[in-house]
């Protein structure tokens, strides 16, 4: 679809449901770290309510800019709590709908099962040529990665090795495809059913970066959208909270 907005690269998918006159569809902007959980949640939503969602995945900061410029989203699932709060103050979100749906964890990851140690000493290795991280201006996980490098006193040493992704999704792909030896990614991207899918990782201690509190909010466009309202209720249900935890998030 062509619009006057310059949309960020994102993956868009829809979950098809049974044709019913009462079923609604919501347009949802979702932080890239939440890719796998939102797919599962969308399927549950369709099965239990008949409502469907069309999801765009990308960087939180870029979505904030798009929403400010009238992008047609009904719900925003951010990777921080700052931008949803800003949208509330700016009158672009439905009052009283914002809540924290997950708290993210940052990990250092490699597809090589022997590369990343459990203390992150690999960051000091001269054998590491490229280290991926997300744009700290648009991606909260990227900002957290910068905090980690500063905390460990490695910012200057790692600067020539850094490869920057526009979102945490692109950052993950840099490591997955071998364009970076290691990378700072979301734990949710490398877990499946609570277990590491492949490679090796260091779960970075929380003391090294600020809490990644991820907030959801209904936008003004979606305040009367039944699918948007149903999604927000589902995100707060016990079973979905357990699903979110299985991807390595805290609640």
Residue 80 lies in a domain: yes
To 10 degrees, what angle do helices 35-49 and 238-246 make? 160
| Residue 45 located in a structural domain | yes
Domain annotation covers residue 5? no
| Crossing angle (nearest 10°) for helices 140-151 and 168-176 | 70
Shared domain check, 113 and 204: yes
Q: Are residues 127 and 176 in the same domain?
A: yes
10 alpha carbon, distance to own chain's centre = 12
Regarding whether 134 and 189 lie in a shared domain, the answer is: yes
Asked if residue 6 belongs to a domain, the reply is no
Instruction: Quote the pLDDT of residue 23.
Output: 86
- DSSP summary character for residue 8: P
185 & 167 share domain: yes
Condensed to tens digits (0 to 9), the pLDDT of residues 66-117 reads 999 999 999 999 999 999 999 999 999 999 999 999 999 999 999 999 999 9
Same domain (yes/no): 201, 111: yes
In this prediction, residue 251 carries a pLDDT of 86
Does a structural domain hold residue 78?
A: yes
- Confidence (pLDDT) at 14: 46
Question: Do both 99 and 220 map to the same domain?
Answer: yes
pLDDT of residue 199: 97
Same domain, 68 and 150: no
Phi, psi of 195 (to 5 degrees): -120, 150
Specify if 1 maps to a domain: no
* C-alpha span between 165 and 142 (Å, rounded): 9
Give me the CATH number covering residue 235: 3.40.190.10
Q: Are residues 96 and 218 in the same domain?
A: yes
Q: 112 φ, ψ to 5°?
A: -80, 120
- How far apart are alpha carbons 14 and 12 in whole angstroms? 7
Residue 4 lies in a domain: no
48 and 80 share a domain?
Answer: yes
Range of the domain at 228: 12-103+212-246
Q: List per-block mean pLDDT (blocks of 10 residues) for the chain, which spans 251 residues.
A: 37 45 90 96 97 97 97 98 98 97 98 96 96 97 98 97 96 97 97 91 97 98 97 97 94 86
The DSSP H or E segment spanning 186 is strand 182-186
Do 199 and 223 lie in a common domain?
no
Whether 216 and 99 map to the same domain: the answer is: yes
> Are residues 109 and 196 located together in one domain of the fold?
yes
Residue 18 lies in a domain: yes
How many domains would you assign to the chain?
2
């Amino acid at each position: 679809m062509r619009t006057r907005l310059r949309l960020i690269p994102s993956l868009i998918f829809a979950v098809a449901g049974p044709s019913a006159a009462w079923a609604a569809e919501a347009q949802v902007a979702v932080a890239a770290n939440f890719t796998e959980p939102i797919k599962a949640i969308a399927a549950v939503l369709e099965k239990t309510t008949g409502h469907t969602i069309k999801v765009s995945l990308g960087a939180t900061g870029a979505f904030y800019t798009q929403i400010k410029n009238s992008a047609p989203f009904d719900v925003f699932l951010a990777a921080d709590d700052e931008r949803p709060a800003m949208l509330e103050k700016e009158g672009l979100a439905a009052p009283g709908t914002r809540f924290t749906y997950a708290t993210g964890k940052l990990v250092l990851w490699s597809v090589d099962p022997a590369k990343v140690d459990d203390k992150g000493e690999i960051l000091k290795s001269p054998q590491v040529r490229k280290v991926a991280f997300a744009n700290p201006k648009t991606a909260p996980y990227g900002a957290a990665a910068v905090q980690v490098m500063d905390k460990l006193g490695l910012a200057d040493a790692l600067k020539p090795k850094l490869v920057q992704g526009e979102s945490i999704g692109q950052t993950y792909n840099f490591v997955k495809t071998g364009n970076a030896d290691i990378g700072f990614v979301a734990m949710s991207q490398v877990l499946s059913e609570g277990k590491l899918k492949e490679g090796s990782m260091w779960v970075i201690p929380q003391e090294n970066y600020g809490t990644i509190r991820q907030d959801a909010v209904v936008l003004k466009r979606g305040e009367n959208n039944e699918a948007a309202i149903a999604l927000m209720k589902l995100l707060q249900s016990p079973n979905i909270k357990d699903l979110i935890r299985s991807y390595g998030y805290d609640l």
